[in-house]
Structure 1
Amino acid sequence: MADHPCPCGLPETYETCCGRFHAGTAAAPTAERLMRSRYCAFVRLDAGYLLRTWHPRTRPERVDLDPGMRWTGLEILETAGGSAFHSAGTVTFRASYRGGSLHEHSRFERVGGAWVYVDGDFLS
């Protein structure tokens, strides 16, 4: 998998893109990169990463991932804030899977300097 493109859609390998965030050797520098890495974690069934990058006040006890779900692509539609100069940001995205798509407006905040997912609103 080292030479395969990252599932998040950026033109890098998994290891040089989201893999380093999943491994804990780097932190996502923006809300968008965290969003991309979380999508990649859904693709790779990495529930631990999803929980680690969820805001403590909204984080569920556990995440149940469906191994039968086949994610097929991520499209970032809009971002606001979420850079190194912000403490909060939003990302609107469409994540496609075999048979449909998920459209969400997600909110992110910094906790202890690291970006975390707070919550989101599903869009139609």
Structure 2
Amino acid sequence: MYHMEKVHAPTPEALMRSRYAAYVLKKADYLLYSWFPDTRPAELELGDDIKWVGLNILGSELSVDGLEGTVEFIAKYKIGGRAAKMTEKSHFVRHGNRWYYVDGDVAE
């Protein structure tokens, strides 16, 4: 069986894509595992009424030292049968050989 938590994403964008897949598959354990410990919530509630239907990466950037990165994306989903979307600029940090999600700025 494939275990998402055994794979370490090589870039912030790869981690963003794997985290989106974890939301689709409702893998809260992987989402928490890939979240930076200083900003990680104690638990994560993934609503059963949300169906994620698409991810569009708008852009990604790495800091000069390669230890921080951002990924801007649009995630499309359905809730109660109605289409919706979320735009976020996510922040990532590399600690050791691993990238972690830190937090994100959601556009209104």
Equivalent residue for 2:94?
Answer: 110
Name the count of aligned residue pairs. 103
In the alignment, the residues of structure 2 paired with residue 56 and residue 78 of structure 1 have an alpha-carbon distance, to the nearest angstrom, of 25
Equivalence for 2:33: 52
Question: How do residues 52-91 of structure 1 correspond to structure 2 at under 5 angstroms?
Answer: 52-81=33-62, 86-91=66-71
Task: Give the equivalent residue in structure 2 for 1:119.
Answer: 103
Normalization by structure 2: what TM-score? 0.88
Q: Any unmatched runs of 5+ in structure 2?
A: none
Helix, strand or coil: the match of 2:50? coil
Runs of 4+ in 1 over 3 A off after TM superposition: none
AA in 2 matched with 1:36: R
Counterpart amino acid of 1:40? A
**Cα distance in 1 for residues equivalent to 2:62 and 2:96:** 17
Q: TM-score, normalised by structure 1?
A: 0.77
Q: Percent identity?
A: 43
Structure 2 equivalent of residue 95 of structure 1: 75
RMSD between aligned residues? 1.7
Q: Deviations over 1:42-69 (max 9, x none)?
A: 0000000000000011000000001221
1:12 corresponds in structure 2 to none
* 1:29 equivalent in alignment to 2:13: no
* Structure with the largest fraction of strand: 2
Moved more, 38-47 or 73-82: 73-82
The CA deviation at 1:112 is 2.2
